[in-house]
Chains A and B, each alone.
Chain A
Amino acid sequence: MAATQKDPVLVTVQLSGGNDYLNTVIPFNEPLYRDNRPAVGIPDDQILRFDKTYGFHPAMAPLKKVWDQGKLAIVHGVGYANSPRSHFRSMDIWHTCEPEKVGTQGWLGQVAREYDPKKENVVTVVSFGPSLFRALVAPGVPVACVAGPLEKYGFLPNIQERAQRLQVLDRFAKMYAPVAGTGVMEYLGTTGLDSLKGADILKVAPQKYASTVKYPDTPIARKLRGIAQVHFADLGSRIFYCDHGSFDTHAGQNPGHGQLWSAVCEGLEAFMADLREHDHADNVIILLFSEFGRRVHDNGSGTDHGAAGPAFILGDKVKGGHYGEYPSLKAEKLVQGDLNPSTDFRSIYSTVLEKWLKLDPKPITGGRFEQPAFLN
């Protein structure tokens, strides 16, 4: 299917390492917050209160602006039963929608296959990160993985002389031309040409890009800028993915956690300004999640692995507000010292899939889940 400029686009920002819920969305009226956070609590006068009950971490001012505009949805208590408290396992669960067994197909990989079953566009999914996130993996689905700057994306990046490079890549294409041979050679050929084509397509994006928006000089802002470049180039990309971290603040949570959120929020602020400047804001939503929240009681300088956490969805088409319930901080309600999840993470996917990406969520999430109404 040929994508048009106004097809819905999803940008996922993965906050890797386990983001601390209590210091992100702070329940400042709750005496138990103060009791549990003697070392890493946010002082009252620094909390960015955004309603009568909750406030953001002081590093999150740009996100508060989005809230004030009514464009930020906060989904509370997100997680799954029997949280394993392992980064890798938890991340796998988020990626594959399989909390019980080890899944092999990523939820967004399946989305890409639905959108482009004949694989007509090799840049339907574009990922900015160090590796191929499992969320994007599905058999036969090409994913363009950009590890460094977009300008240098492609095969053999260290052959830099232009004429030489074009010549070598032309050879590459010829060497990967379809051959009558074994299935494996054929498969390698297709994959090679897909990636080459992907590189070819993506490389025009930074060349076409012009913007007055200044992005901060952080890894996450660079990734978001890359996403903006590809999105503005109208290449039919529907799924973007990137990550930032590590939010694994066992120690030194002050000031580490704030620096992480500054980078994310300032990056997002620039990204959203860029979207608006290019009149590309109305078909993009951004999903922020982390694999788990952190322990309610701090450990003296940080917090250990926990369970429930918040997820955020922002964008011009998002209905801002609170969704779901902030889990109770009462000692008897905690599960091994952690907030008990009140919203299954697949609920969020279900809303995004059905209301935004216009797909039946069931085959991807593996069930029917209540859909928080952050999208019309």
Chain B
Amino acid sequence: MAYQEDIALMAHLMRRAGFGAGRDELEARVAKGYEATVEELLHPETQPAVDVYTLLRYQPASLLPGGQPPMGNVNFMYHLVNTKRPLEEKMALFWHHVFATGNSKVDNYDQLLEQIGLFRQQGMGNYRDLLLTIARNPTMIFWLDNNQNHGTAVNENWGRELLELFSMGVGAYSEKDVREASRAFTGWTFETKIPRLPYGRFPWKFEYRPEDHDDGEKEFLGHRGRFNGEDIIDIVVEQPACARFVCRHLYNFFVADEAQVPAWSIEPPRDQKAIDTLTATFRQSRFDIRSVLRVLFNSSFFKNARFKHLKSPAEVVVGSLRLVGGYELPRPGYGDLSMQPAYMGQDLLNPPSVEGWHTGPEWINSGSLMARINFVAELVGDPSLPGVRAIIDRLKTRGSLSPEQLVDGCLDLLGPVEVSSETRRELVAQAKEWGQTGWASETSAKTADKRVGEMLQLIVATREYQFA
């Protein structure tokens, strides 16, 4: 079963570093090798970018979607479903979780998509550079009121969140540090917005106004000087707390569910050794995210963390759409499709607050559980979809299937998914109601297709399937 184990491990990698993969892709990747696949994922530039012209043709309004959903979501969803650079897109989602910026205030999906674009470009690059980029991002500046942060009247919103939510976490700095960091970012604003009427929205542009900057001496985390914003970032990234914070975020997103971020100053990490390994790389590589990810995906703590992460709604929706196929073109109806994560509690481009989404078990409530199960079940129960067809076709080649073979075959081709013995017993009991499943005659084939669909639906409804 060594080969089967390779498939299972590759499936795990692709679920975490991407949005899952069907069996054909997994086999091709196993042939290529695990480490080589990691390298390919770490170097998205080796793969083609998403074809935005197709998006333009089908959903022209999604290029500059303005302030109303769902066209901004259509744009993001199209990228998520079609990307050949899954880790690039996953990192965009990751940074969107961390630097959570929402349409609730920004009221401008054009700008939010631009920010996601920055995450695509820089998400695996240097963290220090990324922090600087986000500090200069007009969308972020508006979201956290840094345009109201003046030399003569300090607004601490950005300064505080930079330290609390974007780099170090509560407990690593004093209130004075917040004040001093905020002073250093005075004058970091954006150009006066051009009125929306009559020509529509204009892109926002960063602007530094030296006359509005407090150029006095500041004392920040034990350093003293006439700091500007960039100096603050340079001091922050050198802090051990920063390395721990960023690496714990990566661990929580890619390896296994941690406590919610606000609790990190109280609750120790789930795996201190793993965090130590990652932080060492973070610092040695001078804040290179790609290097940290390379260590992460090749580590045994990652490989041993199968199904230790509750799928986010985005992972549920995108993973399912990519598995079943047929949703590559942004046809009419894509609007509702792109809002599906919102129905399950994750309104992309509109996180509930700057704290981002609460993850892990907090994704689940009665409504969201029903929403996620029903959404996935409807897709996998439709044998006309190419990915479902592919599963049926593979099962067909195995001849007539006993109830156990049907269950194990479906579990295998949906993941492989691992379920508890109690769950498997129930699945087998259901399959026994149906008896043998086979495609020998036209009528039995029709029934068999239906049975597979129903078994897949039952599997995606399990507790285990909610995990990645």
Contact = CB atoms under 8 A, between A and B. Distances in A.
A104 interface: yes
A88 B102 contact: yes
A164 interface: yes
Interface stretch (B103-111, B146-154, B318-326): B103-111
B420 interface: yes
A42 interface: no
A132 B381 contact: no
Interface stretch (A189-197, A228-236, A257-265, A307-315): A189-197
Contacts, number: 121
B334 to A, nearest CB: 16
Nearest to B377: A156
A171 interface: yes
A283 B454 CA distance: 44
Contacts of A174: 426
A259 B103 CA distance: 28
Q: Which of A88, A127, A167 has most chain B Cβ within 10 Å?
A: A88
A179 B422 contact: yes
Taking chain B's interface residues, is the majority helix, strand, or loop, or is none over half, making it mixed?
A: helix
B420 A179 contact: yes
Contact of B366 (A89, A122, A131): A122
Interface in B44-72: 68
A145 B370 contact: yes
A181 B361 CA distance: 14
B4 interface: no
B365 A142 contact: yes
Given A88-B102, A88-B104, A143 B366 contact: yes
Given A89-B105, A130-B343, A132-B345, A192 B374 contact: no
A31 interface: no
Contacts of A248: 68
Contacts of A189: 463
A216 B310 CA distance: 42
Interface stretch (B184-192, B263-271, B298-306, B427-435): B427-435
Contacts of B365: 132, 137, 142-143, 191
B422 A175 contact: yes
A156 B374 CA distance: 5
Nearest to B419: A175
A236 B398 CA distance: 52
A182 to B, nearest CB: 10
B377 A158 contact: yes
Contacts of B221: none
A156 B105 contact: no
B134 interface: no
Contacts of A145: 366-367, 370-371
A198 interface: yes
A338 interface: no
Contact of B370 (A130, A137, A155, A179): A155
A159 interface: yes
A213 interface: no
Contacts of A84: 105
A16 B463 CA distance: 35
Contact of B364 (A137, A147, A188): A188
Interface string A246-268: 00100000000000000000000
Contacts of A218: none
A9 to B, nearest CB: 20
A179 B464 CA distance: 13
Contacts of B361: 183-184, 187-188
A102 B381 contact: no
Interface in A57-84: 84
Interface in A175-223: 175-177, 179, 181, 183-185, 187-189, 191-192, 194-195, 198-199
Interface string B362-403: 001111111101100110010000000000000000000000
Contacts of A176: 463
Nearest to A176: B463
A284 interface: no
Given A159-B457, A188-B463, A102 B352 contact: yes
Contacts of A144: 366-367
B67 to A, nearest CB: 8
B423 interface: yes
Interface string A127-163: 1001110100100001111010000001111110000
Contacts of A86: 104-105, 107
5 contacts: A88-B350, A155-B370, A157-B374, A171-B426, A177-B422
Given A155-B377, A174-B426, 5 more contacts: A158-B377, A167-B430, A171-B427, A171-B429, A176-B463
Interface of A: 84, 86, 88-89, 92, 102, 104, 122, 127, 130-132, 134, 137, 142-145, 147, 154-159, 164, 167-168, 171-172, 174-177, 179, 181, 183-185, 187-189, 191-192, 194-195, 198-199, 248
Q: Which 7 A-B pairs have the closest CB atoms?
A: A145-B367, A88-B104, A102-B353, A195-B366, A132-B367, A89-B104, A188-B463
